[in-house]
Amino acid sequence: MTELVDSEPGSAGGQPPLSLGTAAARNLSTITKSVPQMQEISSRWLLRVLPWVQVAGGVYRVNRRLSYTVGDGRVTFTNVGAEVRVIPRELGELPALRGFDDVEILDALADRFVQREYASGDVLVQTGQPADTVHLIAHGKVNKIGNGAYGAEAALGTLSDGDYFGEQILTDPPGDWEFTVRAITGCTVLTLPRAAFEELRNRSEALRSQLEQHQNQPEPPRNKYGEAAITLAAGHTGEPDLPGTYVEYDLTPREYELSVAQTILRVHTRVADLYNEPMNQTEQQLRLTIEALRERQENELVNNREFGLLHNADLKHRVQTRTGPPTPDDLDEMLSRQRGTRFILAHPRAIAAFGRECTHRGIYPQSIDITGNMVPAWRGVPILPCNKIPVTAARTSSIIVIRTGEEDQGVVGLHQTGIPDEYSPGLSVRFMGIDEKAIISYLVSAYYSAAVLVPDALGILENVEVGRFHD
């Protein structure tokens, strides 16, 4: 008895097929297909939550009240191998030396700093001991600890790279430390003994003059933010003479120019003419190019050294984690420093690390709805993922706390609409012609920037450890 087998041509049985094979049938069928997919596309929450301001002239000027704050408040260092040295001019960040420009004396002062290494847990200074050294933290992180009202230890703050303490010994009479400083991580610290400083001061007339001027010249009235004070009267009765005042403006306000991300999209005319069914090839090429351009735009808004959020946060609003991983205590500290916080932006690994810390404490953060998406939140503030925030090789990252909008003196995105050949707000697609090789070229451009209206609109939780797990 002969068995009939349905086989494709060339099958092992060698029998001719009894029906049409699938390979031939596909030539007559219409295949259901997807549009081209792309793994690089992310949620791009930052672009979605920033309010965008129209910048008609291509430049956005942020006018503020006059501030007397000078410098960035942090000292910078250089190193040759393991040997670290403070940059002499950076000593001008110390209040007593602000404005002092005698390079020879500053260089001699920098040479008198002694490098010291501390391990995690070591005590740099102890409450009640003589305060006789200036400490510059070149690398690492330390905790300032004081005595609480009820006898327990109270955290006074965390210091890290570029911070300093003990600067008062340059002008104040001898005294004792009013706090303890303990290393959280391994630290490299440069110390200046009082005796070494006094020896240089006794030899330099210019340095003595600088210190006397610092002690005798009253600082202009200012509020706690460093802004020129506005004189007011309150609580009076009768008809006293009221003070006159005015609001002083910063004479050199910062201006933000729109940045640009561009590329040239090339499509061969043969492809554009013949291969447009069922999908338009040019449209798909353009769609994916714009997606990549928007990804780069968000990356620049986070990391650009001129206007990126990570580089434009005021140093007074940069907070160090107390133990490494992001804890509820750390986020509470950030929220307490920034008024009206709208959003928290963090790398997905940092969000996972925060979730682990909450789980370890038996805390379960709520979730809230943002434009139809359920996202985690802390104290009612949504925590949004942003994979453009870098994670270092040491498995540390940063968490951004942000207030948005012009009406709240927050952070705003900048763009210009109505540009020639506009494809979407702030983005244009301009036809550049067809070359001698029959290739069509399109110039794709996105114009954007971001501005921080007042310093407390943006805060950064730094050195967030994302690789720690609990057993």
| Full pLDDT tens readout for the chain, 471 residues | 444 444 445 555 567 776 656 677 677 777 778 888 989 899 999 999 999 999 998 999 998 877 655 555 788 888 776 788 999 888 888 888 888 888 889 999 999 999 999 998 999 999 999 999 999 999 888 999 988 777 788 888 888 888 999 998 888 888 899 999 999 888 999 999 999 999 998 888 888 888 888 777 766 776 666 677 777 778 778 888 777 776 777 788 889 999 999 999 999 999 888 888 888 888 999 999 999 999 999 999 999 999 999 998 887 788 888 888 999 999 999 999 888 999 999 999 999 999 999 999 999 989 999 988 899 999 999 999 999 999 999 899 999 999 999 999 999 999 999 999 999 999 999 999 999 999 999 999 999 999 999 989 999 999 899 988 887
For 68-221, list the strands marked E by DSSP: 77-80, 83-86, 114-118, 123-125, 130-131, 133-139, 142-147, 153-159, 164-165, 175-176, 180-183, 187-193
Asked whether the beta carbons of 36 and 229 are under 8 A apart, the reply is no
Show the tokens assigned to 47. Answer: 């672009």
Measured CA to CA, the distance from residue 403 to residue 412 in angstroms comes to: 9
The Cα 440–Cα 264 span in angstroms is 10
Q: Are the beta carbons of 449 and 440 closer than 8 angstroms?
A: no
The answer for residues whose C-beta is within 8 angstroms of residue 432's C-beta and 6 or more apart is 264, 441, 442, 443
Other C-beta atoms closer than 10 Å to the C-beta of 46 total 24
Q: How far apart are CA 414 and CA 258, in angstroms?
A: 7
pLDDT confidence of residue 411: 96
Identify the pLDDT of residue 367.
93
User: Does the CA dihedral 70-73-78-83 come out positive or negative?
Assistant: positive
Strands 318-320 and 458-465, by their bridges, are parallel
Nearby residues of 410 by Cβ (< 8 Å), 6 or more positions away: 51, 340, 342, 402, 403, 404, 453, 457
- Tell me what pLDDT residue 94 has: 87
Structure tokens at 298: 């968000």
Find tokens 């006789």 and name the residue: 132
**The residue count for the chain:** 471
Helix (H, G, I), strand (E, B) or coil at 228: strand
For residue 343, give the H/E element and its range. strand 343-346
For 225, the token pair is 């933010």
Among residues 417, 424, 384, 416, the alpha carbon closest in space to that of 49 is found at 384
Q: Determine the Cα–Cα distance for residues 185 and 141; give it in Å rounded to an integer.
A: 6
* Cβ neighbour number for residue 470 with a 10 Å cutoff: 9
Question: Cα 359–360–363 angle (5° rounding)?
Answer: 45
What angle (nearest 5°) sits at the alpha carbon of residue 403, between those of residues 427 and 408?
Answer: 95
DSSP 8-state symbol, 15: P
Q: Please, are residues 346 and 383 in contact by the beta-carbon 8 Å criterion?
A: yes
Count of CB atoms within 10 A of residue 154's CB? Answer: 13
pTM value surpassing 0.85: no
Pairing of strands 123-125, 180-183: antiparallel
Q: Given this model, what pLDDT does residue 328 score?
A: 95
Phi, psi dihedral angles at 417 (to 5 degrees): -100, 165
Residue 70's pLDDT is what? Answer: 55
Q: What is the largest CA-CA distance in the chain?
A: 125
Q: Coil, helix or strand for 339?
A: coil
CA 16 to the chain's CA centroid: 69
- Beta-bridge mates of residue 153: 147
Beta pairing class for 142-147 and 153-159: antiparallel
Confidence (pLDDT) at 468: 87
Say how far apart CA 22 and CA 267 lie, in whole Å.
33
Upper half-sphere CA count for residue 155 (Cβ side, 13 Å): 13
